[in-house]
């Protein structure tokens, strides 16, 4: 099954106003941001979840990332496409461009970054936070889906928010090597890896972050109208890329990828020291390694 996480309205933009069957899913980590809608795209099932909830009610720090990823895992999602708005930290990444992210810098501090915060020690490989195979499929789809600029890679620095960066922070992010800045990529990508999902992020550049001064005389109203225009155009491009990627994945079966066995060597706790209640708690995350033999 293919999963999609994005902003409010992404599902409608991809599939129309009425799509799929609504699933309300319980998880050990509470309720997901929204019900998950599942529909069929040819022979492929597609599960869509609104990251910020219906009507965009959740701040980035309050998104129930663990519940979201667990709910998709419980439904059987194995490949995950995500999207999100970002600010550009580089002159060459212009508003309305798309970035198929390959690296992350974590500057969050209020979010639990793992499913496994008790009962067992789990250390998943995360050197390449986004699946190279799935990124290649997204890039191949983007080359024929849109005329806009799509950057083949980029480093995303994830800040806590909800405020945007100071100028000093933006300069620091540039010095660290980040190309774009946003608030939602983490712990989402970490959790997708622990859930053994292939994951790819299509980032939507809406504006330049505050390191780049606005032209003299620009008013807040003018700036907001400009950003809204960028968001609309870039989102339309992202929807086209996602739609083409979905079609491609539906027509060509996924390859076997290392993401699907990310926990094979990651569970360091001795089996005889793991409480059976913890195995039941984590369920589909660990069943193939710790379930009944």
The whole-number pLDDT of residue 19 equals: 76
> Residue 289, annotated ligand binder?
no
Please say if the pLDDT value at position 30 is more than 80: yes
> Residue 183, annotated ligand binder?
yes
Q: What is the mean pLDDT of the chain?
A: 93
Please say if the pLDDT value at position 16 is more than 70: yes
Tell me the mean pLDDT in the region 38-56. 91
> Residue 207, annotated ligand binder?
yes
Cα–Cα distances in angstroms (integers) from residue 286 to residues 194, 256, 274, 282, in the given order: 9, 19, 12, 6
Q: 1 exposed, middle or buried (CB, 10 Å; 0-12, 13-18, 19+)?
A: middle
Cβ neighbours around 219 below 10 Å, total: 9
Q: Predicted confidence band at 17 (pLDDT cuts at 50, 70, 90)?
A: low
The whole-number pLDDT of residue 58 equals: 96
Question: pLDDT tens, 164-184?
Answer: 999 999 999 999 999 999 999
Please give the structure tokens belonging to residue 163.
Answer: 């405020």
High-pLDDT (> 90) share of the chain, %: 78
> Residue 8, annotated ligand binder?
yes
Please say if the pLDDT value at position 18 is more than 80: no
Domain limits of the chain? 83-290
The whole-number pLDDT of residue 223 equals: 80
> Residue 277, annotated ligand binder?
no
Phi, psi of 20 (to 5 degrees): 70, 175
Please give the structure tokens belonging to residue 285.
Answer: 């995350």
The whole-number pLDDT of residue 231 equals: 85
CATH topology of domain 83-290: Rossmann fold (3.40.50)
Nearest to 69 by CA among 78, 59, 60: 78
Please say if the pLDDT value at position 211 is more than 90: yes
> Residue 43, annotated ligand binder?
no
Please say if the pLDDT value at position 220 is more than 90: no
Nearest to 90 by CA among 203, 219, 223, 199: 203
Phi, psi of 169 (to 5 degrees): -65, -40
Please say if the pLDDT value at position 288 is more than 70: yes
The catalytic residues are 207, 209
The whole-number pLDDT of residue 54 equals: 87
Question: pLDDT tens, 66-100?
Answer: 999 999 999 999 999 999 999 999 999 999 999 99
């Amino acid at each position: 099954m293919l999963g999609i996480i994005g902003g409010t309205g992404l599902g409608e933009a991809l599939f129309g106003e009425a799509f799929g069957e609504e699933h309300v899913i319980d998880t050990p980590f509470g309720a997901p941001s929204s019900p998950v809608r599942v529909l069929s795209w040819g022979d492929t099932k597609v599960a869509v979840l609104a990251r910020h909830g219906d009507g965009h009610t959740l701040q980035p720090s309050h998104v129930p990332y663990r519940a979201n990823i667990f709910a998709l895992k419980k439904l059987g999602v194995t490949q995950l496409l995500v999207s999100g708005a970002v600010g550009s930290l580089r002159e060459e990444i212009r508003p309305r461009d798309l970035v198929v992210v390959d690296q992350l810098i974590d500057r969050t501090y209020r979010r639990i970054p793992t499913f496994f915060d008790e009962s067992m020690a789990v250390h998943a490989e995360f050197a390449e936070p986004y699946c190279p195979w799935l990124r290649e499929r997204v890039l191949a789809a983007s080359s024929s889906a849109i005329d806009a600029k799509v950057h083949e890679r980029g480093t995303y620095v994830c800040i806590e928010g909800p405020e945007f960066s100071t100028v000093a922070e933006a300069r620091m992010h540039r010095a660290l090597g980040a190309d774009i800045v946003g608030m939602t990529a983490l712990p989402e990508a970490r959790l997708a890896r622990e859930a053994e999902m292939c994951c790819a992020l299509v980032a939507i550049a809406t504006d330049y972050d505050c390191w780049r001064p606005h032209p003299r005389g620009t008013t807040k109203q003018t700036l907001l109208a400009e950003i809204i225009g960028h968001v609309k155009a870039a989102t339309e491009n992202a929807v086209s890329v996602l739609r083409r990627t979905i079609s491609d994945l539906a027509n060509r079966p996924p390859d076997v990828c290392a993401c699907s066995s990310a926990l094979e060597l990651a569970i360091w706790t001795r089996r005889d020291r793991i409480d059976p209640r913890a195995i039941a708690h984590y369920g589909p995350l660990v069943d193939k390694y710790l379930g009944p033999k």
